[in-house]
Amino acid sequence: MTVAENLPLTSSHWGTYRARVSNGRVQELLPFEHDLDPSPIGPGIIDVQHGPTRIDAPMVRKSWLEGGPGHRPELRGVDPFVAVSWEEANKLVAGEIDRVRKNFGNQAIFGGSYGWASAGRFHHAQSQLHRFLNCAGGYTKSKFTYSFAAAEAMVPHILGSFREYLDTSTSWDLIRDHTELFVCFGGIPLKNGQISQGGTGRHYQREKLIAAAAENIDFVNISPIRADLLESVGGEWLALRPNTDTALLLGVAHTLHTEGLSDPAFLNQYTEGFDEFLPYLLGQSDGIPKSAAWAADICELNEDDILSLARRMAHKRTMISVSWSLTRQDHGEQAFWAAITVAAMLGQIGLPGGGFGFGYSAMNYIGGDFAILPYSALPQGKNPVRDFIPVARITDLLTRAGETVEFDGQTLTYPEIKMMYWAGGNPFHHHQDLGRLMEAWQKPDTVIVHEWCWNSLAKRGDIVLPCTTPLERHDIAMTPRDPYIVSMSKLTEPYAQSRNDYDIFAGIASELGISQAFTGGRSDAQWLRDIYEETRANVAHLGHDLPEYEKLLETGWHKLDDPSEPKIMLKDFRNDPVKNALSTPSGKIEIFSKTVSDFGYDDCPGHTVWREPYEWLGGSDQSHPFHLISNQPPAKLHSQIDHGSVSRASKVNGREALRIHPLDAQTCGVKDGDLVRVYNNRGACLGTVVTDTTLRRNVVQMSTGSWFDPLDPSDPYSLCKHGNPNVLTRDKGTSKLGQGPSAHTCLVSVEPFSGIPPKVTAHEPPEIIRK
């Protein structure tokens, strides 16, 4: 055993690390010895763990403290904060919860709190919040995720489930051994594969991809960005227009059918509704055959390339991978439906190395071999409030009280929200059209936030309660999607007056008289032990022997045995479609869904279709000449630790990079290192030019995650000095079915910035008044 292996462990969504601690501080985070491709993100927390951005005491916005709920002479984020004691903070929060639920009902409390928070099984802020609010009478919640909300709504109508097939994607090892052609819509972005929800012990996306490429698999990267596929793989690049993947897939489907290359036996035995889809594909229903020539015109590709791709897919064992990002565009439901339709026409679903997969390297666990086990978690209780919203409709919730929204066959009514309670997420990172969100953010009487640092959400709260980081508490990283169980050590004492979320809620629960209901009479240490022991008993019945709790604390980690057989998505269904029928009305793959058709949505009929996006490079309005791709950042998880050393090192002159093709940069009159203004009719932000030949012409790329930093905090639509692209993206649902975010449908203009560059203040704390 090396010296490093004696060091305590911690775990996060981006990996597991050994910690070198001295003088009460974490001095170094070293990669876990079992991780051959560790993420550099984790160590970025070290220099900010005790830095000036830490929140050191409960804080209350000055005008709220003086005037009470709803008192707001200026926008949230403008006036200073007042430091208060925990005793006062607990009374203020409890009093506000009591006021709102008694006067307006519990549906007036929004506790969606979408976000990743800690990888620990117990100290997971969103779970803690939901348990607490359920004990207090319930709350309005959100449904689905920003990552792939459109698919979460759509795919169950096609396959009977979506989450099940995320966890059972065909394994990389079978792809290596059997796949001949790997067609990846949206590429295989290894930067995204650094992370995995709930923690990860070992990264394998890079090694598995390289191993597959070594077997002479042909890779086709269908993306506006060549770098979405590792350069050493040497795949073919089809640089289609953004947002046209569905049209390309329809062109492939048309070629397969008209050239007799599809598998009618598979379609007949395993699918439902191909005959209802065929008139649309052939143009009999609308006069427009969805041919390769038709698709080539929309995608701005060569017709022969589409014909060749379709023929190769039919003659080779083919895996179709669709990136999660495809769902985050206007009509984002359609690309996944089209991909499943094409895979069904090829007839290879359920075979080793064939069929389709949802986003290889979207997270580290995709394509891994691991056992899905019944791990226990903190019980959240039952929410008596029935109101909910689709996850990306927060702004509409706040501005359209009493109005309705169509969602997956339901008509929902937005309740009036008086209080927002947020713990573990940051809407000023992941939501679209931040100017519109800023206006809506003024509607509630009170915004309560748990945060450890002064990020863009904390600065816009009314009551801010300082919480610990994972380095300051014990926990267990234990997720069904990773074979490693890690005992997360408490490496340092909590910073200043910060408390873990459980203790924060316990204090408020005591004020509300619901302490026993929330805590169950248990400390956090007792909860951890009980959750683990319950898990240990559950998995023992399935043949897995986990170590005793004390032994886990002593060794620090445990790895489950690998499954005896690698995973093949829908293998059992293919082997016996009657015994293993899908959870769809027909029990089959629904190429045509009568359920969806009966919803009567004009933007999402009963089979996959091409619908023109609300703005795109092929549209009639070309007032903004560039398509903006605001993808996931390589140096942080979403916006987490944006102020840390790793993320700061990835910025260019302290701002987010705007990547642009050199010829497009020349047209704009800019060069590498220049400061530019990126704008459209929704907003504007600054960025630093980085020329990049791996981008398609007329496409620019700016990663999400830079903390929102308006030039004038009192103006909702003020220029973001730091480079947050969500000031530019439109806040529109993908369709009436999924209502997911459509951030990847966005046109912008780029121009040189003139004048004195404004100072970036995103990582500076607000003004604080000490009593």
Annotated active-site positions, please?
114, 116
- CA atoms of 628 and 725, how far apart (whole Å): 9
The 3-state secondary structure of 281-309 reads: HHCCCCCCCCCHHHHHHHHCCCHHHHHHH
- Residue 604's contacts (CB-CB under 8 Å, 6 or more residues apart) are 154, 331, 333, 334, 596, 735, 736, 737, 738
- CA atoms of 120 and 110, how far apart (whole Å): 24
- CA atoms of 564 and 587, how far apart (whole Å): 28
Instruction: Indicate the Cα dihedral angle 299, 302, 308, 312, nearest 10°.
Output: -40
Give Cα 307 distance to the centre of its chain: 34
Per the DSSP assignment, residues forming a β-bridge with 675 are 688
Nearest to 94 by CA among 494, 518, 456: 518
Angle at the Cα of 411 from the Cα atoms of 588 and 590, rounded to 5 degrees: 10
Supply 514's token pair: 């619901």
For 71-105, b where at least 16 C-beta lie within 10 A, e where not — what string? ebeebbbbbebbbbebeebbebbbebbebbbeebb
- CA atoms of 42 and 488, how far apart (whole Å): 14
Longest pairwise C-alpha distance within the chain: 79
The CB density around residue 379, as the number of other CB atoms within 10 Å, is 12
**DSSP readout, 23-55?**
TTEEEEEEE-TT-SS--SSGGGGGGGTTSTTB-
Ranges of beta strands (E only) in 128-201 are: 141-143, 181-185
Angle at the Cα of 203 from the Cα atoms of 199 and 209, rounded to 5 degrees: 140
Cβ pair 94, 511 in contact under 8 A: yes
